[in-house]
Amino acid sequence: MTNKDIHFSKLLMDVYASPTATLKYPNISNWDFSPFGLTEQDLIHSVYLVFDQVLKLPELYHISITQAQLYDFIIDLASVYHNQNPYHNFAHAVDVLQCLFYMLCELGVLPFTNKFLQKSKPQSLLRPKDVFALLIAAIGHDAAHPGINSSNPLATLYNDKSVLESLHAMTLFQLLNKHGIDRLVGDSKSEAYKVVSSILATDMSLHNDYVSKIKEQANRFNNTNSHLDEQDERNLLCSALIKCADISNVARPFHWGTKWAELLVQEFISQGDLEKQMGLPVLPMNDRTKVVLEDSQINFIKFVALDLFQNVANVLNEIEFAADQMKKNLRRWESRKKNIEYEQEEFDIVSNSSTTHMIMVETGIKRSSSSLDLQHHDVKRRPSIEKYPVNNTDDRDAPVYCQCSIQ
């Protein structure tokens, strides 16, 4: 480090690591955590606190990262996230990191070393260096995300799998290298591999393959004694955990889940608008005239997220709490949908009568109960029946539950 660097780091430390900065950090040990309303400084500090805890593990004493070095790295990483993206921004990365931290604590892997864990538990395979690699992967897993999903022309052009995820991994490693942290991630190539393979596991087009692999893993741990190589079981546990964390918004308390859903839909419809302008075909879920928030969440939970969480909970039983919360959220979305259907019926009946105008105003108010202003995005909140007619043979209108086109 040059004198100039040391001076700069000291300045950063004064801003971020002062005793008052610690006072306002959000509760990173709470499932009710959300990064909403936090400043960039608070987000950076939250990330710092997670890594600081992990680096206190005696097994990681050899990772000699100074506080200033850690801060510099996090600040740089935060800056490569595009904060104009409604969803794929640094706050999402912090949310995923905190989720992993929380789950690792529930699993008993953190904050202590796993020497207190029963050897029979699958999570006892996770060593502190795996945990460190996993958390690095979490905070970098969407680095430089352009706000456009994997069905974009870029992916088609490369005709390749995991284009975005490769970009995230590459961006992260450039920064780890710049800050001299890459060689600290692990004493061998296998830890670097773990970071990359965990990021690649977040490619949702591989979702069903992972769910099948996790199902087989549960079977191995619960019913048979035949295990894969320890390293393979360990890597699969890491993939399962980061995948859960990446879509954990649907397992958070409902008030945060709705906010994430609205932000994601905003990003999707911005993409849809762009595709329309470019004369490209638009998926219904990206089309502001077709997307229904409630349906998108009901379908995503039912057909994508719940399956993952339940299978992961069959391996790592302590994760059950998240699957339970997700089921509660599903019921909330379903009842919201019923209310809307009811409102729609009321609206249809009354709009044929002479009092149309008054009732329109009233239902309009009822429908705008959302915490986030989506009005100018014009997201319709209609029931799915209308949107996806039964026996629809037109592929373009078939329901798509996720940007990754897993069906």
Q: Which stretches of the chain bind ligand AMP, using CB under 6 A?
A: 88, 142, 149, 202, 204, 246-247, 249-250, 260-261, 264, 296-297, 300, 402-404
Smallest distance, Zn ion to C-beta of residue 92, A:
6
Contacts with Zn ion by CB under 5 A lie at 142, 246
246 annotated to a ligand binding site: yes
Name the residue with tokens 């931290």. 101
The answer to whether 92 is a known ligand-binding residue is yes
In the complex, the smallest distance separating the C-beta of residue 6 from ligand AMP, rounded to whole angstroms, is 36
| Partner from ligand AMP, Mg ion, Zn ion, none binding residue 200, C-beta < 5-8 Å depending on class | none
* The pair of three-digit structure tokens given for residue 258, joined into one six-digit string: 């709705």
x/- site string to Mg ion, residues 183 to 202, per CB under 5 A? Answer: -------------------x
Contact 323, 306 (CB under 8 A): yes
Structure-token pair, residue 273: 């608008």
């260096």: which residue's tokens?
129
Nearest to 172 by CA among 104, 54, 81, 254: 81
Least separation, in Å, of the C-beta of 211 and ligand AMP?
A: 13
Is residue 306 within 8 A of residue 330, CB to CB? The reply is: yes
The annotation status of 7 as a binding-site residue, yes or no, is no
Is there a binding annotation on residue 5? no
- In angstroms, the CA 105 to CA 204 distance is 26
In this structure, are residues 244 and 103 in contact, taking their beta carbons and an 8 Å threshold? Answer: yes
303 marked among binding-site residues? no
Instruction: Clarify whether 88 is annotated catalytic.
Output: yes
63/326 with CB nearer ligand AMP: 326
Helix, strand, coil percentages, rounded to 5, for the chain: 65, 0, 30
Nearest of 71, 199, 76, 60 to residue 138 by alpha carbon: 199
Of 72, 95, 106, 142, the residue at the interface with Mg ion (CB under 5 A) is 142
Instruction: Give 305's DSSP letter.
Output: I
Distance of CA 166 to the CA centre of its chain: 17
In this complex, which beta carbon is closest to Zn ion, that of residue 72 or of residue 246? 246
Kind plus residue range of the DSSP H or E element containing 348: helix 320-351
**197/202 with CB nearer Mg ion:** 202
The Cα 248–Cα 244 span in angstroms is 6
CA distance 75 to 251: 28
For the bound state, the minimum distance from the C-beta of residue 165 to Mg ion, rounded and expressed in Å, comes to 6
**Total chain residues near Mg ion (CB under 5 A):** 2
Closest approach of Cβ 323 to ligand AMP, in Å? 15
293 contacts 261 by C-beta, under 8 angstroms:
yes
Question: CB under 5 to 8 A by kind: which of Zn ion, ligand AMP, Mg ion, none does 260 bind?
Answer: ligand AMP
90 carries a ligand binding annotation:
yes
Asked whether 246 and 96 are in contact (CB, 8 A), the reply is yes
Q: Which of 45, 88, 145, 207 is catalytic?
A: 88
Ligand-binding annotation for 357, yes or no, is no
Residue with Cβ nearer Mg ion (168 or 336): 168
142 or 191: whose CB is closer to Mg ion?
A: 142
Which residues are designated catalytic? 88
- Which residues contribute to the annotated binding site for AMP? 88-92, 142, 246, 297
> Which residues contribute to the annotated binding site for Zn(2+)?
92, 141-142, 246
